[in-house]
């Protein structure tokens, strides 16, 4: 279904979303055919998260990284304290929105930590939805398995910084970037559509580090720089964003390395 058609049919829902009244469905235990899933949030409509599609977004708890700028700190540090969403509620919602929404965004936390993700994605796809996965790139084998099973349509992978700056940027001393390199290589094989994106934060990123990060993905299809926004639920409070003009300068630095580059969140 085309974006224009969906926009017309979803008019009421869009207004509710823009008014901030759409966030999550009722809570309950989340189980996928017997397996526990840390499904903690459902944004019922997003026009921004899935390129050129109307979508909803599912939030999974838990993450192996501790990025200081993480804007979902509760979901990462204490997912057990966040209410879960029952899968019957989720699928009742998805069935109701069939033909109205194009896709489902899977985000977190780090969704690839969920042991039963493939099963969940199969059920979502059976309803006709396209699936976009957000990942931190730490689990290339799991990512490849989902791609091989034909369960993904689009992957957005975080490229946190240059290799040298990765440990500080993900909050893990001695962080091994080998899995990140493997995920980069996998996506750049272009078996499915993808993007890399970097949340840019004062004190963690510089012209030099962003240039080196872009060089790492030299030739990539899409690369987006996202300006940091303080959600009020950060792992390390007190961080600040760059100015729009600094972000435009960073964009000019990374542009020569990728086919398509852009800014988000200005």
Sites of contact with ligand SF4 (CB under 6 A): 63, 65-67, 70, 72, 76, 108-110, 136, 158
**Minimum distance between the CB of residue 99 and ligand SF4, rounded to whole angstroms?**
31
**Closer to ligand SF4 by Cβ: residue 9 or 66:** 66
**Closer to ligand SF4 by Cβ: residue 73 or 147:** 73
**Closer to ligand SF4 by Cβ: residue 49 or 158:** 158
**Minimum distance between the CB of residue 2 and ligand SF4, rounded to whole angstroms?**
32
Contact yes or no for 174/167 (Cβ under 8 A): yes
Helix boundaries (H) for the chain: 3-9, 11-18, 73-77, 87-96, 117-126, 140-148, 166-170, 178-188, 207-216, 244-254
Q: CA-CA distances (angstroms) from residue 8 to 50, 51, 96, 143? A: 18, 18, 17, 35
Q: Is 188 helix (H, G, I), strand (E, B) or coil?
A: helix
**Closer to ligand SF4 by Cβ: residue 110 or 195:** 110
**Closer to ligand SF4 by Cβ: residue 60 or 216:** 60
Q: CA-CA distances (angstroms) from residue 157 to 31, 58, 133, 197? A: 26, 16, 8, 6
What is d(CA 246, CA 202) in angstroms, rounded to the nearest whole number? Answer: 10
| Residue 109: cis peptide before it, omega within 30 degrees of 0 | yes
**Closer to ligand SF4 by Cβ: residue 134 or 153:** 134
**Closer to ligand SF4 by Cβ: residue 63 or 254:** 63
**Minimum distance between the CB of residue 256 and ligand SF4, rounded to whole angstroms?**
27
DSSP string covering 87-123: HHHHHHHHHHTBTTB-EEEEESS-GGG-TTHHHHHHH
The pair of structure tokens assigned to 256 is: 């020569």
What is d(CA 228, CA 265) in angstroms, rounded to the nearest whole number? Answer: 8
| Buried/exposed 179-208: b ≥16 CB within 10 Å, e otherwise | bbebbbebbeeeebbbbbbbbbbeebbbee
**Closer to ligand SF4 by Cβ: residue 97 or 132:** 132
Contact yes or no for 155/189 (Cβ under 8 A): no
């Amino acid at each position: 279904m085309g974006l224009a058609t969906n926009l017309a049919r979803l008019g009421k829902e869009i207004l509710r979303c823009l008014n901030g009244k759409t966030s999550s469905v009722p809570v309950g235990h989340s189980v996928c055919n017997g397996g526990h899933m840390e499904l903690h949030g459902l944004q019922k409509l997003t026009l921004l998260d899935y390129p050129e599609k109307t979508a909803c977004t599912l939030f999974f708890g838990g993450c192996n990284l501790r990025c200081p700028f993480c804007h979902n700190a509760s979901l990462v540090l204490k997912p057990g304290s966040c209410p879960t969403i029952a899968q019957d509620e989720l699928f009742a919602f998805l069935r109701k929105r069939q033909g109205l929404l194009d896709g489902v965004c899977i985000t977190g936390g780090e969704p690839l930590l969920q042991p039963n993700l493939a099963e969940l994605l199969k059920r979502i796809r059976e309803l006709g939805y396209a699936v976009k996965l957000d990942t931190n790139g730490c689990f290339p084998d799991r990512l490849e398995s989902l791609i091989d099973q034909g369960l993904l349509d689009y992957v957005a992978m975080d490229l946190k910084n240059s290799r040298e700056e990765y440990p500080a940027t993900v909050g893990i001393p001695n962080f091994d970037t080998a899995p990140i390199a493997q995920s980069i290589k996998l996506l750049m094989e272009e078996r499915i559509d993808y993007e890399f994106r970097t949340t840019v934060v004062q004190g963690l990123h510089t012209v030099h580090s962003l240039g080196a990060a872009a060089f790492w993905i030299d030739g990539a299809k899409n690369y987006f720089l996202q300006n940091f926004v303080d959600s009020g639920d950060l792992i390390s409070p007190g961080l600040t964003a760059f100015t729009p003009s600094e972000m435009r300068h960073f964009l000019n630095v990374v542009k020569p390395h990728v086919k398509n580059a852009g800014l988000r969140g200005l």
